[in-house]
Structure 1
Amino acid sequence: MTNMKTMKKEQLMAELEVMEKRVSELEAKLGETGETIFRGADKYRKLLESLGDAVFLFRVPDGVCEYFSPSVTEVFGYTAEDFYRKPFFLMDIIHPDYFDYCKEKWQELLEGAVARSYEYKIIDPKGKERWISQSNRGITDQKGRLVALEGLCRDITASRQTEATLKESERKYRHIFEVLGEAVFLVDRKTGYILDANRTAAELYGFSVAEMLGNRLADISAEPDKTVLALKSATKQTLQLHHRKKDGSLFPVEATVSYFTQKYRKVAIVAIRDITEREHAEEALRESEARYRRLFEENVAPMLLINPDTGRIVDANPAACRFYDYSKEILRLKMIDDISILSREQILRDMERARKRECGHFYFLNRLANGEVRDVEAYIGPIEIGGEQLLSFLVHDITDRKRMEEELVKAQKLESVGILAGGIAHDFNNLLAAILGNVSLAKLNLPSDDPAYEKMNQAEKSCLQAKELTSRLITFSKGGGPLRKKVMVAPFLQDTVAFFLSGSNVRCEFEFPDFLWALEIDVGQMQQVVRHLIVNAQEAMPEGGTILVCADNVHLSSEEVPSLKEGSYVRISFKDQGVGIPREYQSRVFDPYFTTKPMGNIKGAGLGLAICYSIIKKHEGHLTLSSKLGAGTTFTLYLPASPDVSASFSQ
């Protein structure tokens, strides 16, 4: 205290500047830590550890292994320690047939020629041969000298064996495939015995027709259980199996099973197609367009046939008509870009990729007849029908799945921020307490008309703002669960909104039913939610406007709203007349620290909506938004209700 009294004004100002600089550094550190630590090393470490391929880094020219990802054991059969322990360990396990080849590749590497990829065989610890595919990339120093080799190694033994089997099968049965028709069996559904078989079937399997009549269909199947289940099924189905010929060799088939009754005997018609060669399968598919039509019409998933050159919808199955809410006649008049929000150029580009089989799996946003936009997953592949080359679209609605995934990601982000904020915010509060104490002491020793006195006031105000920020951060830390008490919704909303709109150029209108269920909430926390939503609405309407606050009772079924259990809820919405939120920002508005406002002040800290989301989650509720540019934004929250207690609006 004595030292404070004897300090000069210049010393006090210098001390204050040091303190303010410390606060700024801590704020910057707080922001950068969340961004860097959680989105940096941990992200890429997990990525490397989850790869099925082995990621490596070798030094050049001494061959020392600097790094091998955990998948090295799965790929090579050896541990990373085996490679770390001895330089050029890889050369010790190379198959003798490929030793010279790999040695030549290493020599080329030393000469500066880095092969992008090559394949070789090794001997694993059990003495078995493995095929390895290696992709490489050279690393050079500032002088352009090659100093290291990095890349991926993949075990391709299975694919090599499959390739060899396919080649052998092609060599042995090429002549049969060239004249192959479709093998057909008539099978007793009850016993599974073959009642009849055509000549093509006899030629395909190597049996005579008479020999086949003494066997069951399961006898020529390598997967008899699947075959038996298929025969017993009550519906037509198509499945892929492996069948066995008379000589014992296996081959893949596509079996289409349908049924009819013959003289009181239930008979299955089993049409077998050898699908060893996809071209033969496609030719057989063109010959059986009628069968495809039945599959198309009866499929429970939406299916579309599209002309890839024009984008015109050629056909749609009943499931697609139900999904898009158009009749088949209307859909046939539309183009694919009429139901997709992508540009026509992007859609045609994706369809061209699908036609060339470069990619068959896509994610789109589709628009329904009522204007609703849904996330869809589409499997697209080429098909020829009636001599016309088309694309078949198999569509799955994944809107609810994506929402649930987004909810999980949000929860994980909040949990991560809470762990970080819980520790840092408390330490930060301690520092702020010391600063505030010193500022208060300094003010006691200054007359109110001293120029430095106003500086002290500004410093004190900044510290209090920083303290408010730390209180927001503590909201994310573990603990701090809601202290619930039962409240009536209408009076609570009216009083809270009126308080936060006091003196504002924005007015509020309320729409409540005659009766609303009561809520069990933490009043203080829920007031924070209302405050942040009201402030957001005010900032969206700087020239003034109207906020519409609505509430009603709803009973939700399971999975009707992501992350909410079945039960009774009060739904509350806040709708403004602002400019709206761009679509690209809507998925991020609840992220901690995300903001489009200027940083460097409390308003732009990016925590308001994240705090709202966290509080609603702690109340076992849900918070969502809908927004359209130029039409305003609506925030909707669901809170578990107490249906046994209700209150009239007048109360």
Structure 2
Amino acid sequence: MSCSGTVFDINSRIKSKESIRYKLEIEEVLLEISNMFIAPANLEKDIDVALEKIGMLCGAGRSYIFLIRENGTIFDNTHEWCAEGVEPEKNNLQNVLCEECPWWMEKLSNDEVIHIPDVSALPPEAAMEKEVLGKQGIKSLIVLPLYVSGMLAGFMGLDNVVNTGNWGKDDVSILRIAVNLMGMGIQRKRAEKAIHVGEEIYRSMFKNAANLILFVDKKGVIVECNSRVEELLGYRQDELIGRPIKNLIFSDCLKKLKEASDEIERRGFSFNKEYRIFRKDGRPVDVNVNSSGLKDENGHQIQTIFIVEDITERKKAEKLIKESESRYSFLFQNNRAVIMLLDPETGNILDANSAACVYYGYPREKMLSLNIADINILPKEQILEGLEQEKSRDINHFYFIHRLSNGVLRDVERYSYPILMDGKKLLFAIVSDITDNRKMQSELMKAKMEAELASKTKSEFLASMSHELRTPLNSIIGFSDMLLTQNFGPLNDKQLRYVSNISMSGNHLLKLINDILDLSKVEAGKMELKVEEFSVSDLISEVKALLTPLASKKDIQILSTVDKELTTIRADRMKFRQILYNLVDNAIKFTPKDGYVIVEARIEEDQAKIVVRDTGVGISEAEAKKVFQPFTQLENSEYGEQKGTGLGLSLVKKFVEMHAGKIWVESEFEEGSKFIFTIPLNPAN
């Protein structure tokens, strides 16, 4: 028994069937994509579906679309499909600068397909792209340019994040067709959007236009108008439609309407025709009309559009301007001030009033032929440079030396203002002669310097007389105090009273002299600070102890609060004590019986802040302004004039400022007063 048979190689048949099946799949996908983008209902969704089908058909790990923004410098990942297990990158690829991918963008701009079988093998010129792709884990990819309206609008790409590999010619062809279909869909959607936006803009412009818009047919009848008609003419829209336009126009303006109609027939438009038309109530309205013809597809005029602008107010304004110009001319020429009109570009004097001609000594014809450089003694280049700068400022103020026609030089003050005349910016200049004022100021300055020198000499003299003035007084006070002890024999009542008056008057005089001498030392610059570290709380307690007897006479309590953080301060202890003593003593004087004087001390930033507050009736605004002036005493009608030198608060201010501090007063009527001063915790010296 024997067997015979034939062996067939079916591999080629299998490959052929697979190729046919793949081509059928391609045709099916392309047909479906083509149908989607012929008239896309939902463009965004259609693009996502197309990317999925293309990605699956080509075996990609990721397919995507990037669109370039209108500025051409940034692109965004707008659509993305990812195979199962592949991480999406869309959110990470927004606002990408084109300059970050120069090699990539150059190829797309040249309509090249970017086919990268192996990202690791990219050339050196694609180093930036290689880094970006590497971060995303991309092994291979293919990218095709996407065109909209013939312009590069972005690109479509497919990635492989698992293996490297090539895309065949069939894949490239599929992608070419697909990306072109998408571009057509995007283009159609943008066109539809532009048309819709255009229609909306037109409707909005017609409805909300500031001017009245009328559509008039060939017979001169109004067929449509916007809502502005009610405001301008008093008609409702339905009342005006159907009326002949000539019925709205004054009879003496109908000739212009005929001229406009002829112009539209001849060249298609007629601009700036002024008419007077009737309102519904019969009142006239001045209008300016621009009109143009509307034609059908055969070029035949079917309607005329009239854009009507209300110029009633403008007409009134023009009349007022003419009257204003007349008044300006009168005021300019008859003004007693010296006034000129200058050209800032050339320096020429374009106009000058009578006062200017008299002041400079030129007849009007000669004056108008001069340049400002003929009057101002500065170099012409410097003058013109200054005039050019003056044009951009609202007001200019200068001091110059001007030469009169007789050669005499005068000091002048000049104000200039830029004004617009006939579309050109000019300078309106007012000149004042200040020669005599300058001489007076010079003499006053000399007198001031002499007075300051005399004051300084006085201060230096008083500062140097400290010992000579205090020594006799100390003797008087010392011996009178010894007599009061009666250790050298008894005194009768009259003698005791006289000696007591001597002691009190001597102490008062000594305080006055001390204040004057201290103030003189400060003004003469001979007062020095002896900076040391001391406890703020202890010093406040010391001042309270000194002034408590004085306060007790009026049943006034002296209270104090010190911030725990404010322990010590570096300052001149004696001057700080005198500052505080004077402020508390002053507060006691102006606080009624059973009142309070409160001292508060705290840290504020890098400074010690001390507040001395009383429960008096307060200080008026006028007194508060002069309270720190020397030889000024606080007055109050309720408590009468207080005794004192009038130098205490002035010295306080000087001592605070010597510490680089500040002092001020806050007061309200019947709310008492607060004297506040701040001193740095650690002075620079």
- TM class by shorter chain equals 0.3 to 0.5
Pick 1 or 2: higher relative contact order, CA cutoff 8 A, min separation 6: 1
Q: Which has the larger radius of gyration?
A: 2
Q: What is the TM-score when the length of structure 1 is the normalising length?
A: 0.35
